[in-house]
Structure 1
Amino acid sequence: MPGASIQKDETSNSSTKCQTLRKNNNKCTPLKMGGWALEIGKMALYMTFPVAMFHWFNQPEYFEKWVTDTRRQLYPPENPQHRAEIEKCIRNVRERHDQELLKALEEMEQKEKK
């Protein structure tokens, strides 16, 4: 029986060694890789997939509605009343600033006269 256990050990050992190898005519030979054709196919896929996805999803009809909706949210149509209020406020601020400058200029002229 010692020979049977040795036989068992050899088969289990050879099966673990041949996990990445295949048995061919009672010999373990290395597995063959895909070769150059597989590499060419992979490279073609790597190059064409992003280009195809860009072409597919970059069609105007896919994002035109999204762009117009986003633009309307960021830049809503102007309300004439709102625009008039803003212009009135700007005029008031400029008038106050001009009055302050005139007042400061008059004070400087009075100091020069003395």
Structure 2
Amino acid sequence: MGVKLEVFRMSLYLTFPVVMFWISNQAEWFEDYVVQRKVGIKKRQELEEFKQKIRKQREERLLQAAQQSS
């Protein structure tokens, strides 16, 4: 059993890095991942801009309300 186990372990040690290298160098997968990530970044930026716009509007309304009550 010892030799079979060692052969299995050695094949696993050699196969895993080769498979990971092959997967990471697939152009289609890489392009899909990069495009999805860029779209996600754009959406986050748009969301942050929207939040800032809403905060600014809220602050302006509070300022106007404070000035009217004074």
TM-score above 0.5: yes
Is 1:112 aligned to 2:63, yes or no? no
- Quick one: which amino acid aligns to residue 111 of structure 1? R
**Which string of whole-angstrom CA distances, capped at 9 and with x for unpartnered residues, describes residues 67-88 of structure 1?**
323x168636120221121011
Q: For residue 75 of structure 1, what is the aligned residue in structure 2?
A: 20
C-alpha RMSD of the superposition: 2.8
Q: How many residues align?
A: 56
Q: Identity of counterpart residues, as a percentage?
A: 5
Q: For residue 43 of structure 2, what is the aligned residue in structure 1?
A: 96
Query: Equivalents in 2 of 1:82, 1:66: separation in Å?
Result: 24
Higher strand proportion, which one? 1
Structure 1 residues 106 and 66: CA distance shift in structure 2, 3 A: closer
Following TM superposition, where does structure 1 have runs of at least 4 consecutive aligned residues deviating by more than 6 angstroms?
Answer: none
TM-score between the two structures when normalised by the length of structure 2: 0.59
The structure with the larger Rg is 1
Query: Equivalents in 2 of 1:66, 1:97: separation in Å?
Result: 40
Structure showing greater relative contact order (alpha-carbon pairs closer than 8 Å, 6 or more residues apart): 2
**Which string of whole-angstrom CA distances, capped at 9 and with x for unpartnered residues, describes residues 19-47 of structure 1?**
xxxxxxxxxxxxxxxxxxxxxxxxxxxxx
Structure 2 unaligned segments of length 5 or more: list them: 62-70
Query: Equivalents in 2 of 1:80, 1:74: separation in Å?
Result: 15
Query: Equivalents in 2 of 1:66, 1:107: separation in Å?
Result: 54
